[in-house]
Amino acid sequence: MYKVIIVEDDPMVASINQQYLQANPLFQVIGEFRNGKEALQYLKKHPADLAIIDYYMPVMDGRQFILACHEDRIRLDFIMITAANSVKEIQEVLHLGIIDYLVKPFTFERFQNAVQKYTDYRKLLRETGPLSQDTIDRILSPHPAAPVSLPLEKGLQFQTLQTIRNCLEENADVFLSSNEIAARVSLSRITVRRYMNYLLENHEIISQADYSTGGRPSIKYRKR
C-alpha cells in the first residue's frame, strides 16, 4: 500500500482528492495539509510515498515544496493538481520530476489515470536483476500521455472497472480466469467477462487459453 499526503489549501478540492484516492485500495491517505511548509514539517518525521499537491498555496507553494523536499533529501513522488496552466509553470515543475500534472477541474477518470501511471512506475522500480533497455526507458520517462480509453459501454461502471484493474495489478505476475477474478472482487463470472472484454479491446490486458482442465479450455487474463 502506498502512503499519500494531500497538500492543498482548498478544503473542497482536498476532500475530492481524498475521496478519489479512497476508491483505490492501493493508496492510504496519511495526512492533509494546507501548504507546503506544514507538509514538510510532517515529512521530516513521517515517511510517505506520494504527495498530491497544488501549485498555488500560501506560505510555501507547490514548486517551493518540491524543491524543499529535494534539498532535505526526502524521498517522495509528486502528482500536481492545480489551476496553474501556463507553459512556464508547467515546465518548471516537469523539470523537477513530477509523475503527472492535472489541471482543475479534473475528472475522476483522469485522476485514476494519474494514480495508475504512478503504480505502473513504482512496479517498474521493484524489478530485480539486470534491467532491459525498455524497462530503463520506461523508468526514465514516467510522463507519457494518459491513455485514451474506449468509452464504457452501457451497463459498465467505472468504479467496478477500477476494482477489477486493481485486482489485476495485485496479481500482475499470474494469469487469472474469470472465475478466479470474480471470487476476488465479489462479482459474478458473467459480469467479470464483460469487463475483461472491455480491457482486452482497450489493450490493457492479454489473454491465453488454459488447456490443463482436460475439457473445454479456460481463458485466463493478465495485466499487459
**Structural domains of the chain sorted by starting position, each given as residue range(s) with its CATH number in brackets:** 2-125 (3.40.50.2300), 149-223 (1.10.10.10)
pLDDT at 148 over 50: no
Q: Which of 89-93, 132-136, 146-150 has the lowest mean pLDDT?
A: 146-150
Q: CA 82, CA 140: separation in Å to the nearest integer?
A: 24
Q: CA 109, CA 86: separation in Å to the nearest integer?
A: 23
pLDDT at 188 over 70: yes
Provide the CB-side half-sphere exposure for 213 (13 A, CA). Answer: 9
pLDDT confidence tier of residue 75, bands split at 50, 70 and 90:
very high
pLDDT at 144 over 50: no
Rounded percentage of the chain residues whose pLDDT exceeds 70: 90
Cα–Cα distances (Å) from 4 to 27, 49, 127, 154, 190, in that order, read 7, 6, 22, 33, 35
pLDDT at 150 over 70: no
The pTM score is 0.62
Q: What is the pLDDT of residue 147?
A: 46
pLDDT at 89 over 70: yes
Return the percent helix, strand and coil in the chain, to nearest 5: 45, 20, 40
Per-residue pLDDT averaged across 43-63, rounded? 95
pLDDT confidence tier of residue 175, bands split at 50, 70 and 90:
very high
Q: CA 81, CA 111: separation in Å to the nearest integer?
A: 9
Quote the mean pLDDT of the chain: 86
Whether residue 158 contacts residue 152, with contact meaning beta carbons closer than 8 Å, is answered with: yes
pLDDT at 9 over 90: yes
Q: What is the pLDDT of residue 214?
A: 65
